[in-house]
Amino acid sequence: MLVWLVLVFIAVPLIELYIIVETAGSIGTLQTIALLVLVSVVGAWMVKAQGLAVLWRVRGKLAEGRMPGKELVDGALVLLAGALMLTPGFVTDGVGLLLLFPPTRMAIRPLVIRRFRRRVAYYGPEAPGPGAVHDTDLADGE
């Protein structure tokens, strides 16, 4: 877990900063800023479009009386894509854009589902999860 935190909060911003500086050196500062803004605007539009598409699929499944499992995973991936698009930088924007394309989500979805199933199997459906306080842990009156 610590490795992931170091990667997310230290390595990724350093990589993003390096790529932005190199790009600005190659094409110019204003062009780099314009490119970052353009990618963010296009990404925001795509997040909205894909988010609405997923929402309609969820509603359709619910109207049929079926559980929208795959659609909920797609919704989580679109949400992650939106968060990545808000993060300034070319790498995070690229990953975010990839997550917005349905074929990419379709390829990633089984990995997310498998990981979720393992966590549910590990903690069990009734387990409150790591770090949660159990009712039996509290003394009367606390």
CA distance 18 to 96: 19
User: Is residue 121 pLDDT above 90, yes or no?
Assistant: no
Q: Is the pLDDT of residue 138 over 50?
A: no
The mean of the pLDDT values for the chain is 86
Q: What is the mean pLDDT of residues 65-73?
A: 92
Render pLDDT for 35-54 as a digit per residue (tens, 0 to 9): 999 998 999 999 999 999 99
What proportion of the chain, given as a percentage, has pLDDT over 70? 87
Give the CA angle between residues 118, 121, 122 to the nearest 5°: 85
Mean pLDDT of 21-37: 96
Is residue 137 predicted with pLDDT exceeding 70?
no
43: nearest Cα among 97, 95, 83: 97
Rounded CA-CA distance 106/8 in Å is: 24
Mean pLDDT, range 87-92, rounded to an integer: 91
Q: At how many degrees (to 10) do helices 12-27 and 29-63 cross?
A: 130
| 133 class by beta-carbon count within 10 Å (0-12 exposed, 13-18 middle, 19+ buried) | exposed
Report domain extents, the chain. 33-124
Residue 119's pLDDT band, with cuts at 50, 70 and 90, is confident
- Asked if pLDDT for residue 81 goes beyond 60, the answer is yes
**Residue 7 vs residue 84, higher pLDDT:** 84
Choice between 1 and 10, residue whose per-residue pLDDT is larger? 10
Q: Nearest Cα to 36, choosing from 15, 20, 22?
A: 20
